[in-house]
Amino acid sequence: MSLLERLNTDMKLAMKNKDKDRLSVIRMVKASLQNEGIKHGELSADQELTVLTRELKQRKDSLQEFNSAGREDLVNKIQSEISVLEKYMPEQLSEEEVTQIVNETIKEVNASSKADMGKVMGAVMPKLKGKADGTLINKIVQQQLS
């Protein structure tokens, strides 16, 4: 079942259950996917994951902003949106698994110092796309290269 089909099914379920918050998140993600589909034609699973990751990142960034501004009302709303979106994301890797993949990639690209960070990040991000948070990957790469 494609992501769009899952969203349609869950949207109908949210309508039946009168779950307005979940329904609005699903509609926003669905609209983003459809807009991307208009730009690029039929979306592959990888492209769908990219859109979903972008939506999740936007909400995590907003969460950080609202936390620093002390807006608890908006923090709760964004946290519920994040939890809905995370259900559509692939299983997230643990920090140990990410470290292992980063170490393998460092060996593959023969990186030895922080100057090679761009090379490592360019090689590791496609491998971990949607499976780990970019800030975690960045932190681990920096630790391994220092």
The Cα angle at residue 74 between residues 70 and 79, in degrees rounded to 5? 110
Output the pLDDT for position 26.
92
| pLDDT at residue 16, rounded to an integer | 94
CB atoms within 10 A of CB 29: 25
Give pTM, 2 decimals.
Answer: 0.73
Question: Domain 95-145 class?
Answer: mainly alpha
pLDDT on residue 134? 81
* Correct CATH for 3-86 of 1.10.10.370, 3.30.750.24, 1.10.1510.10, 3.40.190.290: 1.10.1510.10
How far is it, in rounded angstroms, from Cα 22 to Cα 83?
10
List per-block mean pLDDT (blocks of 10 residues) for the chain, which spans 146 residues: 84 92 92 88 83 88 89 89 88 85 86 82 84 84 84
Could you state, in order of their start, the residue ranges of all structural domains in the chain? 3-86, 95-145
Q: Which two tokens stand for residue 52?
A: 């979903």
Give the pLDDT confidence score for residue 28 in this predicted structure: 93
- Cβ-Cβ contacts under 8 Å for 55 (sequence gap 6 or more): 28, 29, 32, 85
The pLDDT value recorded for residue 71 is 87
Instruction: Report whether 57 contacts 85 (CB < 8 A).
Output: no
Instruction: Give the pLDDT confidence score for residue 17 in this predicted structure.
Output: 93
Q: Can you read off the two tokens belonging to residue 121? A: 């990040």
Give me the numbers of helices (H) and strands (E) for the chain, helices first please. 7, 0
> For position 1, what pLDDT does the model report?
62
Task: Specify the pLDDT at position 18.
Answer: 93
Contact present, 50 and 129 (Cβ < 8 Å): yes
pLDDT, position 9: 92
